[in-house]
Structure 1
């Protein structure tokens, strides 16, 4: 399984933004793959347990786009209680995945690089590969312009073609194509399945 531990950066200066983060994450709550939903654990930290690698990648990239958070991804098992049941909230759960998530978020918080994301798991090499690709995708997203995000978001909403996006945004197909190229969206779209597969393998 996968544990995401997300800690607010510069909370003393920015105030408590956990309620806003939980509201932003709420749409993911109904998705398959959320085993224990996001909730505040302690202070300005939130946590969740997931079992879907693709959803983990999607959420990590979304949190990175919103900014202001250190994200630790732990890979491993989660202990169950009587009858094989998991607790209703993550702060009552435990297991190796939680230990790895704690180590990861602590490393993400102290990292001097501008991409505060770290991955930890039973296989350091596999976790390192996932971390490297996630940080690359986060860096690409961090350099995307508002115009680039506009076409990327429209493409995701419509689930259609560049022609559909051009019609929705009221711009030319050529402009859509130029924005997608400049935003490195084709490259990101190609890398996402790779990091998802590596994350699945790391949890195997």
Structure 2
């Protein structure tokens, strides 16, 4: 299981934006839906690494170029639902450590998957896979957070993996096909979707070693 703890940064100057984050995350599949845990923090859990990557990037998108609005901690490990509905166990505890560790980073994302784990000859340990996943996700997060509103206007109309969409997007936005192509190039759209599987693979390796 992959638990994500999402803590708002600069809440005093930007106001409470947790509800906006929860609305952005609502369409994404979860094992335990994202909800406000307390104050300016939200927590949720997903069962597969692709969903963890998607949710992390949604959180890092918030705030855009004006600043990374949320810190993201991903904890790899088991989850139990307490009687009060809160998430407890190694997954949430690791997620908490990750978000606290990364909160002052330029790209505030951390992944924790240890120290407990199973060693397999010739394979990285859970902490090693988590560290590698963190590095890839920070690169992706930097790409996502740098995008302008105009670039997101184009991207939000695209379906990943479907070819031949640029003419329809251009028509919907009232811009040229060339402008759509240029926006996607600046935004690194294709690079993001080429790199997402690498991040998911590394998260999956971390989960394999700890569960």
**TM-score for both structures, normalised by structure 1:** 0.83
> Please, which of 150, 153, 158 is the counterpart of residue 153 of structure 2?
150
Equivalent pairs, count: 191
User: 3-state DSSP class of the match of 1:203?
Assistant: helix
Structure 2 gap segments, 5+ residues each: 64-68, 115-125
Distance 2:111 2:204 in 1: 13
CA distance in 1, matches of 2:203, 2:85: 21
For 2:161 and 2:196, locate their aligned partners in 1 and report how far apart those are by CA, in whole Å: 19
Q: Residues 90, 136 of structure 1: CA spacing in aligned structure 2 closer, same or farther, 3 A cutoff?
A: farther
Which residue, out of 133, 137, 141, partners 1:138?
A: 141
CA 1:203–1:174 in 2, change beyond 3 Å: closer, same or farther? same
Please identify runs of 4+ aligned residues in structure 1 that moved more than 4 A: 86-90, 157-160
**Structure 2 residue corresponding to 1:50, chosen from 46, 51, 59:** 46
- Ranges in structure 1 where 5+ consecutive residues have no aligned partner: 80-85
Counting helix residues as a fraction of each chain, which structure ranks higher?
1
Alignment match, 1:7? 7
What does residue 39 of structure 1 align with? Answer: 35
How far apart in 1 are the matches of 2:47 and 2:7? 21
Correspondence for 1:83? none
Per the alignment, residue 26 of structure 1 pairs with 26
CA 1:12–1:167 in structure 2 vs 1: closer, same or farther (change >3 Å)? closer
**Counterparts of 1:151 and 1:88, CA distance in 2:** 44
**1:39-67 Cα shifts (integer Å, max 9, x gaps):** 22222211111102111111111111113
Q: 2:60 aligns with which of 40, 64, 76?
A: 64
What's the C-alpha RMSD, in Å, of the aligned pairs? 2.2
Q: What is the aligned partner in structure 1 of residue 117 from structure 2? A: none
8 A contact 2:82–2:88 mirrored in 1: no
Q: Secondary structure at the match of 1:167?
A: helix
TM-score, length basis structure 2: 0.81
